Structure 1
Amino acid sequence: MTTTNLRAIGEAYNLFERAMNGDLRAKAEVRESLTTSDFPILLGQGYQRKLLAQYATIDPVWAQYSMRSTVPNFKRQRLVDILGGRRGLTRIPEGTEYPARDLDENEYDFSVAKYGDRFPLTWEMVINDELGAFRGLDQVLAADARYTEGTVTADALLNQDHTDLNTGFFGTVVNTPLTADSLQAAIEGLSSKRNAEGQTMVRPELRLVVAPGLEFLAKQLVAAVEVRLTNGNRTTVMNNPLAGMVQVVVEPNLLRNTNAKANTTWMLLPAPGAARPAIVTGFLAGHEAPDLRVKNDQGVRPGGGSIGASEGSFDDDTIQYRVRHVVGAATIDNTFTYASRGA
């Protein structure tokens, strides 16, 4: 894109911003500019640039516990997990042939889906100078795209009806409140996992994912340097064994669960870079970020000649902007997971 085009895009966006902020001269210039076919396109490109900039600044919660992936199309994707190499090598006696080894494989499927909306700038809005509906559109769409990623990812942790956690994935979901003892017991349980050959597996880095109702309690449990244990009249001060043991992730989308215990939900999940990630969040290759486009279809008059964009679409007198975002998520491996509905 040339410097001239970038300048034109910036000027179109800034002009529209001034018009939305009440600048009467800018409003007049917008109405005049909309009579040219390129202004809506330049404005859309300006929104797209701002949208991508805003999108990049928003740190998604899901990225703290879900593995990011890209896929080539909308078909169901198959992830093959080859478990060979995680059980140790076989000792070979002198002069003995190396034995052939079977590779255990697990397959996991997931796919991405398309999400989006249309935003019409109507002919009446231009005539009446009521442009406020487009105020901050780039910020809104950036936040909406990240929110969609978050809900899609968190939904993988819930059942299809959003009435409980995903017991089909977690297997056993308990009703244990979050305490120092219960958290320690859960971590110890994941530390004693064994593979199919009966060998102990190395526990990955863990995330303590909690609903908002447990945010402060969870952070207190893993941030305290010391703890005090009282037995009768005797108090013992000792180092907190949970200090720094896990990273706390507060996932507000767990409240999409309609279960009465949604706000006391807590779980342990592997960090995104673990060898056995629990969740994958996928994006369509080449389309990882939200895409904003403009529809400019005024048609032509019977006698010929172009029609200004300010006259609106042939169908409904609108100049429409459309956003598209492609994302999907699925559960993968529950080996190092623990889930509780809480108290």
Structure 2
Amino acid sequence: MSHPARDPREGQHITITDARIVERLSDSQESGHAVRVTVIQGGRSKNGYVYDDAALQSIAALLEGAHAYADHSREEADIRPRSVRDVVGFYHDTAFHAGADGEPGRVDATLHIFEAAGWLWSIMSEVCQLERPELIGLSVDLLGSWQVNESTNSREITAIHALNSCDVVTRPSAGGGIRHILHHDSTSTMPNGGSSPMAEQQSNDELSQLRLPHLEQESSRAHHTFEPSQKPISLKEQRRQLERMRQDIQLQQCDLELERRLQESILPEPIKAQVRGRFKGRLFEESELELELTSALDLMAQLTRDGLVRGHGYEKIQVSGMVSEAQKVQAAFDAMLGLEVDATRFGNIRPFSGIREAYGRVTGDNHLRGGISAQSQLGLLPSGPFAPTGYVSEADLSTANFAFLLGSSMNKRLLKDYQAWPADWQKFVMVTSIKDFKQQSRVRMGAFGNLAIVPEDTPYQALSTGDSAAVYVAQKRGNLVPITREAIINDDLQAIRQIPAKLAIASAYTLAEFVYGFLSGNPVIYDGVNLFAAGHNNLAASAPLSTATLQSGVTAMREQSNSAGKRLGLRPRFLIVPPELEWLAMIQTRSANIPGSNNNDINPMLGYVQPIISPQLSNTGQWFLAADPREVDTIEIGFVGGQVNPALFIQDQPTSGQNFTQDVITYKIRHEYGGAVVDYRGLYRGN
């Protein structure tokens, strides 16, 4: 059973709070080793990400059974399956622990280390012995969404989509570290430098000493000593006794935890007695007890709402799984804009029939006599991913307005339509996060040639390489979209429903046009030469798309060499063409035989490259080959603050701006990014 500890992704040092070693022995010697670890600490990490309790709970759910790897993947954006050689263990018994007194929570887990990774166990044992647990930590690699909080210059996590990996590293930045050792082999030592609580003597199969950790309240059954004059007891019997004592101690721990949680609970005594009767005198997991207490609180809250219980404070309990009025209204907005609503949660909720009905439902002003952003009298709590800067006021956190609710639904619709738009360009470029609008510089160090032979008693010779840099500056793109008082009075829902869809298409197309512009525009790059040039060996003149010209392009990319003149052996992965060449590209890459061949020869280009059709390309005489960006640098696209999706903001103050002068609420869309060609060797053009 795990217990929360009140002690102080990647970074904060965590000291050992419990330096004991608990041996877990049974009739069959258990293989491997286990360490209780903190995977991630809530709050703000050194990288600027902010994890709340909801994000930590999502991570805890994804972590159960996950692989443990040594070090992060070499490429930060690499989400391919890791090599089996990197696996050092797995995580189990994951648990989320809420922080006390406003402190952030954390996610703990048991890290089981495989016998084959004995080197890692040796390191962990030694750092514990030296009382230097900060030398090793845990770091999570996640796929998630966040929103930028400009006031604190941080990225607040809004959703966790996937856990790519959880790795043992040397420099974590989100609080991941060792808590205490659970069990290990018989020759290990305690973190304080003393000898192990149990040392097995292999020569006569006897235990020379047997001690167990003690609790504040110990039972006499937890102390078993062996006098030298007693008849020797077999190792198997000693292990059985040890197992019984371990179970006794765990039972005491469970009873203590049960009483502690019942004393802290606001449940009435009859309910506490019922819970005590179910859990007293047996082993249980903390999560099992937590579920029972939560269910009891939910029941009392429901009885309060039904009028069966009064005056005990249960009216204020937020029952998990219950749908608030604010959430129902937000769901009606979502359905009005054509978004899917969770039927299991909201039932057959009726969408608002028009924008005017929605406005009247929220504000109570059916005739729009007040300002467009008149506050609701419903006491709605803002929820969902839409959180525009400047909306929340410390003076009024219990109201929601029409602009916010509509904007939240519009933002969901915008992101849904934006993410549904084809983005095949992501396959051959590198997507990264940049901090600001300053010039971004990507230094390209020159390559080394062959290593020199060093004769005996002769000093090594230093090598020097030149370097160059690819630079770019991110730019801000966006527009204002007004919604007038007249549009609401006229109930012009169809026009308003088109706004997020059209913004999504505009954002996606603008970004795609920017990326494909590097191919069609053939810009001057870092070395002062155009991207596609004869000197770069990546341009074929008078080479219309065919099996033969494709093979020539493949050979040219294979022959690309680094600055030291060594061939790189690059392989193209993608064939990029305008729509006019789509069917020709399919024929060249998917025909079993060479198209037009009189001898029915086998087509060597069958499945060799993946076609990408770009409507942003219009020159029917040009086609392009691109390598996998995980194998060689190609084009880098950097998003400011890591905000890959466009963001939607509100200007709805009734005493300023167009809302005051023209009865208009304004939505602002913003998308910030830039990019540059980092290396020409991974790109090829034929024409």
Measured against the shorter chain, the TM-score band is 0.7 to 0.9
Partner of 1:313, secondary structure, is helix
**Bigger shift: residues 141-150 or 130-139:** 130-139
- Structure 1 residue 150: Cα displacement: 0.1
CA, structure 1 residues 272+144, in 2 after alignment: closer, same or farther (shift >3 Å)?
Answer: farther
CA, structure 1 residues 181+20, in 2 after alignment: closer, same or farther (shift >3 Å)?
Answer: farther
Structure 1 distance, partners of 2:470, 2:451, is: 26
- Structure 1 residue 195: Cα displacement: 2.8
Task: State the match for 1:100 in structure 2.
Answer: 462
Structure 1 residues 212-291: aligned runs within 5 Å: 212-227=579-594, 235-255=598-618, 262-277=619-634, 279-291=635-647
- Structure 1 residue 280: Cα displacement: 1.7
Structure 1 distance, partners of 2:432, 2:561, is: 27
Structure 2 distance, partners of 1:265, 1:228, is: 20
The amino acid across from 2:438 in the alignment is K
Task: State the match for 1:153 in structure 2.
Answer: 515
> Is 1:144 paired with 2:500?
no
- Structure 1 residue 238: Cα displacement: 3.2
Q: Which of 47, 58, 65 is residue 421 of structure 2 equivalent to? A: 58
Task: State the match for 2:90 in structure 1.
Answer: none
The amino acid across from 1:43 in the alignment is L
Task: State the match for 2:561 in structure 1.
Answer: 194
- Structure 1 residue 101: Cα displacement: 1.8
The amino acid across from 2:466 in the alignment is D
The amino acid across from 1:267 in the alignment is F
> Could you tell me whether the CA contact under 8 Å between 2:639 and 2:674 is conserved in 1?
yes
Q: Which of 113, 118, 126 is residue 488 of structure 2 equivalent to? A: 126
Q: Which of 10, 14, 29 is residue 331 of structure 2 equivalent to? A: 10
> Is 1:328 paired with 2:674?
yes
Structure 2 distance, partners of 1:186, 1:16, is: 48
The amino acid across from 1:214 in the alignment is L
**Bigger shift: residues 214-223 or 50-59:** 50-59
CA, structure 1 residues 191+160, in 2 after alignment: closer, same or farther (shift >3 Å)?
Answer: closer
> Could you tell me whether the CA contact under 8 Å between 1:207 and 1:247 is conserved in 2?
yes
The amino acid across from 1:62 in the alignment is W
CA, structure 1 residues 286+113, in 2 after alignment: closer, same or farther (shift >3 Å)?
Answer: same
Structure 2 distance, partners of 1:297, 1:24, is: 20
Task: State the match for 1:292 in structure 2.
Answer: 648
CA, structure 1 residues 186+80, in 2 after alignment: closer, same or farther (shift >3 Å)?
Answer: same
Task: State the match for 1:339 in structure 2.
Answer: 685
Residues 206-246 of structure 1, C-alpha deviation per residue, up to 9 Å, x if partnerless? Answer: 3221111111111211112223775xxxx533321112222
Partner of 1:193, secondary structure, is coil
> Could you tell me whether the CA contact under 8 Å between 1:120 and 1:318 is conserved in 2?
yes
Gaps of 5+ in 1: 162-166, 256-261, 301-311
Task: State the match for 1:36 in structure 2.
Answer: 374
- Structure 1 residue 116: Cα displacement: 1.0
- Structure 1 residue 281: Cα displacement: 1.6
Larger radius of gyration: 2
Partner of 1:202, secondary structure, is coil
Task: State the match for 1:164 in structure 2.
Answer: none
Backbone CA RMSD of aligned residues: 3.3
- Structure 1 residue 204: Cα displacement: 3.6
Structure 1 distance, partners of 2:580, 2:643, is: 35
> Could you tell me whether the CA contact under 8 Å between 1:213 and 1:264 is conserved in 2?
no
> Is 1:115 paired with 2:436?
no
Structure 1 distance, partners of 2:456, 2:522, is: 56
Partner of 1:50, secondary structure, is helix
Residues 135-159 of structure 1, C-alpha deviation per residue, up to 9 Å, x if partnerless? Answer: 1433332222221210111122233
Task: State the match for 2:439 in structure 1.
Answer: 76
CA, structure 1 residues 159+94, in 2 after alignment: closer, same or farther (shift >3 Å)?
Answer: same
Partner of 1:237, secondary structure, is coil
The amino acid across from 1:9 in the alignment is Q
Work out the number of aligned pairs and report it: 315
> Could you tell me whether the CA contact under 8 Å between 2:580 and 2:620 is conserved in 1?
yes
Structure 1 distance, partners of 2:561, 2:335, is: 60
Residues 245-295 of structure 1, C-alpha deviation per residue, up to 9 Å, x if partnerless? Answer: 22211121112xxxxxx1231122222323231x22221124322111111
Identity %: 25
Structure 2 distance, partners of 1:52, 1:229, is: 45
Partner of 1:156, secondary structure, is helix
CA, structure 1 residues 322+244, in 2 after alignment: closer, same or farther (shift >3 Å)?
Answer: same
CA, structure 1 residues 7+83, in 2 after alignment: closer, same or farther (shift >3 Å)?
Answer: farther
Structure 2 distance, partners of 1:139, 1:126, is: 19
**Bigger shift: residues 316-325 or 191-200:** 191-200
Task: State the match for 1:305 in structure 2.
Answer: none
Q: TM-score, normalised to structure 2's length?
A: 0.42
CA, structure 1 residues 144+132, in 2 after alignment: closer, same or farther (shift >3 Å)?
Answer: same
Structure 2 distance, partners of 1:123, 1:40, is: 12
CA, structure 1 residues 203+119, in 2 after alignment: closer, same or farther (shift >3 Å)?
Answer: same
> Could you tell me whether the CA contact under 8 Å between 1:266 and 1:339 is conserved in 2?
yes
Partner of 1:152, secondary structure, is helix
Q: TM-score, normalised to structure 1's length?
A: 0.79
- Structure 1 residue 55: Cα displacement: 2.8
- Structure 1 residue 96: Cα displacement: 4.1
**4+ residue runs of structure 1 moved beyond 6 angstroms?**
16-20
